[in-house]
């Protein structure tokens, strides 16, 4: 049976010692976000993860959400779990006190959600999407809308959804056909939406759908899409003209109801416009950027979960005499070098991903709270640059790690009762929803690199090269190894950026062909930066005699492993960009 | 709905133009194995794949094999499909006429099984294991055993199994505990075996279990294991004391019954010793080497299946305006550069895998049929070297390709009805059974490289370097690019081999830590050799005006893609061996 132990020490190390909680606590409005508060929040959220959400994860997979007689029922126990979050005010953690929130940093919220996603990803999609909907209404809703919806959603009394996809409009939202016809100061919506996560369920009193649709006078394409808020239950307790047609039968996240939604089968679904007409896609992107980071966090979370289960199995499973084993008899497979190689590959990338996510979260706190405009601007650039990496790279890596988790289990990994396969099945959606890896790659090359002609990418890579130079000068062999490989990887990334800006920019097909290799390259390098920063911090702690139990020393070992096994692929990815992009379209489609 | 079209043109290109069927047809005993015979066999086997096995694949997944009232039932239609193979004499394709076989080359059998595994992997495990059992009895059985069992198994009237694994004995077969007690000239077996593929089913009259067990006087460890043949039904129609206890609930290959088997619950299961006492593991390896190549072939097969489905979906699914698209409106996603990148990554590695498998098959035909001892010896070394690569690398790549197939489908890939996810679930076992990837890696570094101090590896890499040199001198840009990258990759592999022989050999833990990176490195390089050979052949065909429809030109495009996107990782893998192995065990296990 798979259990999940919140990795509180690792989380706090990254949060406090690598990313730096102090700077966040010092921001205006975050005076209460101290180290003690972090301790208290993380401990309590960890209890919920371990004691409430994790035990429901397997049943979520086996039983799944079901639709019976038109009603969507979540897995037994899930409603109680949701109420636990509501009772603790957990849904409001990052939101302002005026709507009933705790007003704590996004950094805290990220750490909490890491644990919950690891404990039960299918469940945690519900609070995750609700937070995204709160963000969208906070940013673009009218005062009346905020006043009406936010307190109910921040508390978790009501949940939220994103209604974007239609059968013909997936990655290409310009093809959205759902309609909204004015009716007084409201609108009547009609259309079909698919892949709507928690589109219907029985955990909360009401569901607030944020829906993309076209007004009658809308221009075609992305500039004619508006955003509407459409509650499942109207004021007065009347059912809106919104129906869950069916639930999808999916590879994983069975506990999360993925709905086909039909709006306006009868008189039209009652909705209100959010913000200005025709600007829905822009608003939805604000929500989607949150969702992208949150899905990227699922990559980290499921990787941590798979890793814990693999380590536990590898310690217990005795099989054969490991190569180089000097004791007599058999040993746990954790002592077999290739099992260790897999576990280290998992561990070092988990630490890289945690560093990326917590860095992005802290930067977003600076964006919203720092008093200095230049610091806000710089932090904003960092969040924007890291978002496609935190989503695209971390989900690809998370999936690979979930698969490694199966591999460590050998034949038992293929048996569903073991639970290792569930993590792989659950993880498999993360590179697809909220924008596929290709969408993330295109976001990176077009909006985050080409738009400023590589300026921020260059600044970040210089920062990494400086860090590498610093480590290369160290007397410690792990730091030196990391410094050398990181310098080489950052240089490879800089050459790829330079190629993109100079040779690629004029050729959209070349840019798009280079997008995912560039994303992977940046992921490897930025992940390396995080692991290197952690190693430097750890070394300093060791030098001041703080390493009582080997925790800091282990950070040097993971850094060295990352340096020797992950970073060397940077040059191959550079070539996939600089000479590989040109050959992607080299074959006539008919010959595929 | 997923369909499978046998890729006959690609299969025949690899078989006849790259690997060379003529040399196989020229071997004594293979006079009938002409190009015309290949045409007839492949066409007919392709009809079975497309018309019989592929349509049953989805039901196999959805319904699965079930145990009811102690009886294991396969999926409706599977027994008829089995009878189709029996009626056509297909199970006997590679076996001698004296036992009712067709006496055709293994090269033919490999091509036929590629198609059947692609059409229905869960089903084809049954003929695959039956062929393995035939091999073992042919090699080590007594004349009486051969006379009794082989005609019935070669015809497919009876099927075969491998009973190796026990709960405590997975990768480590030295821990086998099943017992065999002499009883006259027979033996009484008792013990439990797990993960027994087609351990029980209703498709054939009888099931012939090959079972590893210990005699009373057996020494401990691997040198005390003997091999027994234990039929489900004894002569005279009496049930043997063999029982299927239960079937496993697996991630994939649901149609294949994976049995927990209990031998000797009552008087002991009647069995006969095969060959000499205590030499069972050695005999089983003969069977396992066949099974490893056959499982590796599943990697190729499922990749081809996933690729076909992805191409088909990518042509049909219209979404957005591709980057660089000059026509108006939207287009099939096959025109989006990152979808094309995924499809090319799939295609170029499928061609590499096919080349490896067909080369190994042809070499095994030389081993068994060539009149020249030196040619036989050389071919034997090649088969042995390629086996862990054909198994380990091709299954890892096959799995990655099945996952890419899901990715190309976007959200639809996550919906089970689409069928793309089944390929991923089915493929996930291939890196585990018949020896995990780690076992293959260790076989490669220890038995295939260190045992002869890198001699054969060096010879093969020189052969590849010569090919690369030849291509580098070409005027064709694709061949030149391939030549350059292949030369660099072969040099990286040669350095890794040299490190292993010089620095690694004395340190078993280092050797084991380098095993899988070395396997991947060799896979990338040997796969590159095959793609390069195909490109050279294609170029020659183009120069003689044979490329009427672009088929040969496409081989140059895949070669170039492989050169720019796959081969550059060779250097990273070299580093993972030469400087990476030393850091694998660098962290105290307690700190994981």
Q: For B152-202, write each residue's pLDDT tens digit.
A: 999 999 999 999 999 999 989 999 999 999 999 999 999 999 999 999 999
Q: From CA B362, how far away is CA B355, in angstroms rounded?
A: 10
Q: In this structure, are strands A158-163 and A206-213 parallel, antiparallel, or unpaired? A: parallel
User: Which candidate, A576, A579, A590, A571, places its Cα nearest to that of B478?
Assistant: A579
Q: Which of A318, A437, A564 sits opposite B583 (nearest CB)?
A: A564
CB A301 within 8 A of CB A123: no
Give the max Cα distance, chain A: 83
Q: From CA B521, how far away is CA B502, in angstroms rounded?
A: 18
Spans of chain A below 50 pLDDT: none
Q: What is the rounded (10 degree) CA torsion for A343, A345, A348, A353?
A: -110
Chain A residues lying within 8 Å of B496, measured CB to CB: none
Q: From CA A209, how far away is CA B245, in angstroms rounded?
A: 50
Non-local CB neighbours of A238 within 8 Å, separated by 6+ positions: none
Q: Which of A340, A442, A508 sits opposite B584 (nearest CB)?
A: A340
H-type alpha helices, B49-177:
57-63, 78-87, 106-119, 121-140, 143-155
Q: Write down the pLDDT at residue B329.
A: 84
Q: What is the rounded (10 degree) CA torsion for B12, B18, B19, B22?
A: 70
Chain B residues lying within 8 Å of A515, measured CB to CB: 337-338
DSSP code string of B483-496: HHHHHHHHHHHHHH
Secondary structure of residue B307 in the 3-state scheme: helix
Average pLDDT of chain A, as a whole number: 97
Q: CA-nearest residue of chain B to A592?
A: B311
Burial (CB < 10 A; 0-12, 13-18, 19+), residue B207, is buried
Non-local CB neighbours of B485 within 8 Å, separated by 6+ positions: B528, B563, B564, B567, B568
Residues B589, A315: C-beta atoms closer than 8 Å:
yes
Give me the percent of chain B exceeding a pLDDT of 70: 100
What's phi and psi for A59, nearest 5 deg? -65, -35
Nearest-Cα distance to chain A for B443, in Å, is: 13
Q: Which of A335, A337, A392, A489 to mutate to test the interface with B (most CBs of B within 10 A)?
A: A337
Residues B568, A561: C-beta atoms closer than 8 Å:
no
As given in the structure block, the two tokens for residue A226 are: 């508006």
As given in the structure block, the two tokens for residue A407 are: 């591999």
Q: Which of A347, A575, A584 sits opposite B341 (nearest CB)?
A: A584
Q: From CA A590, how far away is CA B334, in angstroms rounded?
A: 10
Average pLDDT of chain B, as a whole number: 97
Q: From CA A538, how far away is CA B270, in angstroms rounded?
A: 63
Q: CA-nearest residue of chain A to B512?
A: A337
pLDDT band per the 50, 70, 90 thresholds, residue B289? confident
Residues A580, B558: C-beta atoms closer than 8 Å:
no
Residues B428, A432: C-beta atoms closer than 8 Å:
no
Residues A421, B251: C-beta atoms closer than 8 Å:
yes
Q: CA-nearest residue of chain B to A334?
A: B589
As given in the structure block, the two tokens for residue A578 are: 């600089």
For A475, other C-beta atoms within 10 Å of its C-beta total 7
Q: Write down the pLDDT at residue B1.
A: 53
Residues A568, B590: C-beta atoms closer than 8 Å:
no
pLDDT band per the 50, 70, 90 thresholds, residue B3? confident
Residues B319, A171: C-beta atoms closer than 8 Å:
yes
Q: Which of B249, B337, B573 to mutate to test the interface with A (most CBs of A within 10 A)?
A: B337
Q: CA-nearest residue of chain A to B339?
A: A438
Nearest-Cα distance to chain B for A370, in Å, is: 37
Residues A592, B436: C-beta atoms closer than 8 Å:
no
CB A268 within 8 A of CB A366: no
Q: CA-nearest residue of chain A to B344?
A: A584
Residues A507, B590: C-beta atoms closer than 8 Å:
no
As given in the structure block, the two tokens for residue A200 are: 């219907």
Q: What is the number of helices (H) and of strands (E) in chain B?
A: 19, 12
Q: From CA A149, how far away is CA A158, in angstroms rounded?
A: 8
Q: CA-nearest residue of chain A to B556?
A: A587
Residues B311, A511: C-beta atoms closer than 8 Å:
no
Residues B565, A571: C-beta atoms closer than 8 Å:
no
For A392, other C-beta atoms within 10 Å of its C-beta total 32
pLDDT digits (tens, 9 = 90+) for A360-376: 999 999 999 999 999 99
Residues B584, A441: C-beta atoms closer than 8 Å:
no
Q: In the beta sheet, which residues pair with residue B163? A: B211
Q: Write down the pLDDT at residue A54.
A: 98
As given in the structure block, the two tokens for residue B336 are: 């989006």
Q: From CA B323, how far away is CA A121, in angstroms rounded?
A: 34
Q: In this structure, are strands A186-197 and B186-197 parallel, antiparallel, or unpaired? A: unpaired
**Type and span of the H or E element at B238:** strand B238-239
Residues A591, B551: C-beta atoms closer than 8 Å:
yes
Chain A residues lying within 8 Å of B511, measured CB to CB: 323
- Output DSSP code: residue A415: B
Q: From CA A511, how far away is CA A503, in angstroms rounded?
A: 9
pLDDT digits (tens, 9 = 90+) for B90-119: 999 999 999 999 999 999 999 999 999 999
Q: From CA A35, how far away is CA A12, in angstroms rounded?
A: 9
CB A454 within 8 A of CB A535: no
Q: From CA B512, how far away is CA B514, in angstroms rounded?
A: 5
Q: Write down the pLDDT at residue B407.
A: 98
Q: Which of B194, B517, B568 sits opposite A572 (nearest CB)?
A: B568
Q: What is the 3-state secondary structure (H, E, C) of A111-136?
A: HHHHHHHHHCHHHHHHHHHHHHHHHH
Within A264-339, strands assigned E span: 269-274
Q: From CA A168, how far away is CA A575, in angstroms rounded?
A: 35
Q: Write down the pLDDT at residue A329.
A: 83
Q: Write down the pLDDT at residue B420.
A: 98
Cβ contacts from A onto B, under 8 A? 282
Q: From CA A489, how far away is CA A571, in angstroms rounded?
A: 7
Q: Which of A334, A553, A561 sits opposite B589 (nearest CB)?
A: A334
Residues A407, B432: C-beta atoms closer than 8 Å:
yes
Task: Identify the residue whose tokens are 């059992």.
Answer: B133
* Mutual angle of helices A143-155 and A121-140, in 10-degree steps: 160
Q: How many residues are present in chain A?
A: 592
Chain B residues lying within 8 Å of A576, measured CB to CB: 564-565, 568
Chain B residues lying within 8 Å of A308, measured CB to CB: none
Cα-based distances in Å from B268 to A453, B71, B183, B216, B330 = 77, 20, 10, 14, 69
User: Which candidate, B490, B488, B477, B486, places its Cα nearest to that of B539?
Assistant: B477
- Output DSSP code: residue A205: S
For B277, other C-beta atoms within 10 Å of its C-beta total 16
Q: What is the mean pLDDT of the segment spanning B476-496?
A: 97
Nearest-Cα distance to chain A for B460, in Å, is: 24
Cα-based distances in Å from B209 to A451, B243, B283, B450 = 66, 12, 14, 35
Q: Write down the pLDDT at residue B335.
A: 96
Q: From CA A235, how far away is CA A245, in angstroms rounded?
A: 23
Say which of B166, B384, B434, B520 is annotated catalytic. Answer: B434
Q: Which of A338, A508, A561 sits opposite B583 (nearest CB)?
A: A561
Chain A residues lying within 8 Å of B431, measured CB to CB: 407
**ipTM metric:** 0.98
pLDDT digits (tens, 9 = 90+) for A134-155: 999 999 999 999 999 999 999 9
User: Which candidate, A460, A458, A485, A480, places its Cα nearest to that of A470?
Assistant: A480
Chain A residues lying within 8 Å of B338, measured CB to CB: 437-438, 441-442, 512-513, 515-516
Over 90: is that where the pLDDT of B287 sits?
no
How far is Cα of residue A458 from the mean position of the Cα atoms in its chain? 25
Over 80: is that where the pLDDT of B267 sits?
yes
Q: Write down the pLDDT at residue B143.
A: 98
Chain A residues lying within 8 Å of B429, measured CB to CB: 414
For A294, other C-beta atoms within 10 Å of its C-beta total 25
Q: CA-nearest residue of chain A to B477?
A: A583
Catalytic residues of A: 434
How far is Cα of residue B425 from the mean position of the Cα atoms in its chain? 16
Q: In the beta sheet, which residues pair with residue A411? A: none
Q: CA-nearest residue of chain B to A338?
A: B513
Secondary structure of residue B226 in the 3-state scheme: strand
Q: Which of A222, A333, A411 to mutate to test the interface with B (most CBs of B within 10 A)?
A: A411
| CA atoms within a 13 Å half-sphere pointing along the CA-CB vector of A466 | 6
Q: From CA A60, how far away is CA A123, in angstroms rounded?
A: 8
Q: Which of A341, A428, A516 sits opposite B584 (nearest CB)?
A: A341
Q: What is the mean pLDDT of the segment spanning B205-225?
A: 96
DSSP code string of A489-551: HHHHHHHHHHHIIIIITT-HHHHHHHHHHHHHHHHHHHHHHHHHHHHHHHHHHHHTT--SSSH
How far is Cα of residue B217 from the mean position of the Cα atoms in its chain? 36
Residues A337, B441: C-beta atoms closer than 8 Å:
no
Over 90: is that where the pLDDT of B342 sits?
yes
What's phi and psi for B542, nearest 5 deg? -65, -40
Q: Write down the pLDDT at residue A567.
A: 98
């Amino acid at each position: 049976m798979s259990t999940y132990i919140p990795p509180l020490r690792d989380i706090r190390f990254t949060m406090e010692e690598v990313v730096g909680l102090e700077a966040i606590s010092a921001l205006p409005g975050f005076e209460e976000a101290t180290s003690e508060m972090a301790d208290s929040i993380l401990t309590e959220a960890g209890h919920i993860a371990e004691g409430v959400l994790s035990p429901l994860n397997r049943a979520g997979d086996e039983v799944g959400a079901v639709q019976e007689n038109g009603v969507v029922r979540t897995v037994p126990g899930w409603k109680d779990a949701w109420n636990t979050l509501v009772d603790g005010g957990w849904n409001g953690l990052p939101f302002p006190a005026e709507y009933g929130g705790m007003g704590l940093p996004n950094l805290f919220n990220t750490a909490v959600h890491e644990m919950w996603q690891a404990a039960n990803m299918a469940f945690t999609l519900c609070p995750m999407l609700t937070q995204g909907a709160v963000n969208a209404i906070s940013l673009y809703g009218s005062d009346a809308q905020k006043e009406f919806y936010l307190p109910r959603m921040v508390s978790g009394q009501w949940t939220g959804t994103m209604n974007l996809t239609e059968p013909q409009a997936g990655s290409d939202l310009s093809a959205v056909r759902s309609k909204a016809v004015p009716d007084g100061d409201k609108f009547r919506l009609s259309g079909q939406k698919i892949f709507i996560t928690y589109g219907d369920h029985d955990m909360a009193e009401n569901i607030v759908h944020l829906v993309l649709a076209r007004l009658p006078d809308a221009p075609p394409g992305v500039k004619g899409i508006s955003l509407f808020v459409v509650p499942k239950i109207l004021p007065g307790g009347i059912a809106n003209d919104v129906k869950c047609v069916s639930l999808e039968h999916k590879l994983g996240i069975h506990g999360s109801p993925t709905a086909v939604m039909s709006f306006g089968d009868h008189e039209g679904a009652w909705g209100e416009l959010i913000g200005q007409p025709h600007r829905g896609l822009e608003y939805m992107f604000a929500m989607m950027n949150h969702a992208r980071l949150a899905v990227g966090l699922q990559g980290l979370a499921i990787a941590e979960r798979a890793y814990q289960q693999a380590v536990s199995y590898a310690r217990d499973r005795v099989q054969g005499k490991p190569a180089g084993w000097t004791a007599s008899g058999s040993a746990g497979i954790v002592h077999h070098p290739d099992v260790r190689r897999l576990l280290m590959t998992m561990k070092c990338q988990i630490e890289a991903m945690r560093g990326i996510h917590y860095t992005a979260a802290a930067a977003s706190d600076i964006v919203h709270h720092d008093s200095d405009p230049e610091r806000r601007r710089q932090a904003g650039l960092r969040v924007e640059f890291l978002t496609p990496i935190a989503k695209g790279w971390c989900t690809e890596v998370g999936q690979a790690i979930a698969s490694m988790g199966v591999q460590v289990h050998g034949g038992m990994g293929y048996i569903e009762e073991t639970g290792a396969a569930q993590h792989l099945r659950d993880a498999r959606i993360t590179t697809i929803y909220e924008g596929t890896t290709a969408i993330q790659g295109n976001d990176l090359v077009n909006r985050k690199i080409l738009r400023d002609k590589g300026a921020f990418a260059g600044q970040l890579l210089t920062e990494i090269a400086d860090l590498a130079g610093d480590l290369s000068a160290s007397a410690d062999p792990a730091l030196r190894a990391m410094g050398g490989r990181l310098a080489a990887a950052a240089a490879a990334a800089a050459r790829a950026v330079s190629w993109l800006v100079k040779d690629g920019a004029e050729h959209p097909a070349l840019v798009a062909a280079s997008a995912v290799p560039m994303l992977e390259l940046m992921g490897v390098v930025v992940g390396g930066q995080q692991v290197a920063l952690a190693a430097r911090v750890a070394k300093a702690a060791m030098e001041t005699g703080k390493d009582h139990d080997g925790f800091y020393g282990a950070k040097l070992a993971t850094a060295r492993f990352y340096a020797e096994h992950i970073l060397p692929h940077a040059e191959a990815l550079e070539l996939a960009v600089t000479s590989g992009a040109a050959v992607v379209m080299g074959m006539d489609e008919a010959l595929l």
